[in-house]
Structure 1
């Protein structure tokens, strides 16, 4: 039996909570070689399979993505910030909305087949769809769909569970609530929030299925249930550690 073809991938937003987990998952699975990461700051991850492109000028990122050769089969975007970190809503919009769309366009024009965008749950319902955050996420989702990738995957997690480098008070309180409910019912926790590592694995597995032509649709929206299924339930278990024993 011939070995499956190994193809390259690129990730933007690899220093955030979900993005860093996507990067570590990509490097661990070795499904994509090499893995290109376009980032504003140096990465903690190291691997001979990692090509880190560090540039603090985000206006150059689209060109850097388009210049990758050979063209990555898949691009993951976990790019996002907060209003406080960006210095206001207008600056947040430039990153979360405008830059994501610019990168998606560069990926499409460069010949990328599959585009994976980490969005958020609950952005389409009333009245949340009127919120600025929802408008940013929905705008990127709509643009990715309109660009007509061979495969587009939209990951829509709930509360993202995990420890960030910089704490967010409101999110921290939400995490405590979700984890508290999880002690009563894992199903409730899985509906409301998912661990960053599970979200990342779900994104990688969904991309692999899309690349193999096994996605349920050309534009695949992956919500809580599928995130848990792809990233935890069906994710291959880590090999059990073996110990050596000696006869006595």
Structure 2
């Protein structure tokens, strides 16, 4: 892969995306923009730490040469953000701003980690779903060489700040996998590392010119396939 920009490198999925990219000798440089330093390090890491997110778009534009691929796993929760309005500013507004900045900078491929169920019958009624829909639509319409959307289900893994009910949900999902088979768990929950690998794998496929569509949506079964079944470390 050419150089890659990662937004959301300190989150659960993003931290796995980062470690996956840093371990890949074919990735020439890994650029990150975050409010605090990423935990993973390596010789190809080019980390920008900026607490003021309003400066992120200009920081992105300053990266030279422009990364070939940008991956965003940026997101927060209503509780952590301090309300739905503040969550919207990050999950929707900041992602949209950065996607537009990436396009203007010359980034060819954009990967966005969204969420399953956002296009369901009740999606238009839920603020969280509307946030994800807005970012997905923006990424699709910006005209990237390839736009890739991942829609994972319940994301399994240990977060620095546990979501409300998260540990219980993780336990239930993994219990389903142990007692009723991995296939059943895969239908509604995926490990964060599998999601991260799927994002990187899809980006590589796109860079090779083998993406099945200019706008490529990966549902949960696709994530499992690319991130585990067909993954080659």
- What TM bracket, shorter-length normalisation? over 0.9
Query: What is aligned with 1:144?
Result: 139
Q: Is 1:165 aligned to residue 160 of structure 2?
A: yes
How many matched pairs?
232
1:75 partner SS: strand
Counterparts of 1:87 and 1:168 in 2: how far apart (Å)? 13
Which of these residues, 126, 132, 135, is aligned with residue 131 of structure 1?
Answer: 126
Query: What is aligned with 1:240?
Result: none
Query: What is aligned with 1:246?
Result: none
Q: Is 1:116 aligned to residue 114 of structure 2?
A: no
Compute the displacement of 1:18 (Å): 0.1
Query: What is aligned with 1:226?
Result: 222
1:53 partner SS: strand
Q: Is 1:83 aligned to residue 106 of structure 2?
A: no
Which of these residues, 183, 201, 204, is aligned with residue 200 of structure 2?
Answer: 204
Unaligned runs of 5+ in 1: 1-5, 238-248
| Runs of 4+, deviation exceeding 3 Å | none
Compute the displacement of 1:76 (Å): 0.4
Q: Is 1:23 aligned to residue 18 of structure 2?
A: yes
C-alpha deviations, 1:151-170, integer Å up to 9, x for none?
00001100001111111132
Query: What is aligned with 1:9?
Result: 4
Compute the displacement of 1:171 (Å): 2.4
Query: What is aligned with 2:187?
Result: 191
Which of these residues, 195, 210, 213, is aligned with residue 214 of structure 1?
Answer: 210
Counterparts of 2:2 and 2:229 in 1: how far apart (Å)? 26
Compute the displacement of 1:129 (Å): 3.2
Counterparts of 1:58 and 1:176 in 2: how far apart (Å)? 34
C-alpha deviations, 1:132-173, integer Å up to 9, x for none?
000000000001111010000001100001111111132222
Counterparts of 2:26 and 2:95 in 1: how far apart (Å)? 24
Which of these residues, 68, 72, 80, is aligned with residue 73 of structure 1?
Answer: 68
Compute the displacement of 1:203 (Å): 0.2
Over aligned residue pairs, what C-alpha RMSD do you find?
1.0
C-alpha deviations, 1:103-138, integer Å up to 9, x for none?
000000111000000000011101133100000000
Compute the displacement of 1:44 (Å): 1.3
Counterparts of 2:145 and 2:45 in 1: how far apart (Å)? 25
Unaligned runs of 5+ in 2: none
Counterparts of 2:94 and 2:26 in 1: how far apart (Å)? 27
TM-score if structure 2 supplies the norm length?
Answer: 0.97
1:167 partner SS: coil
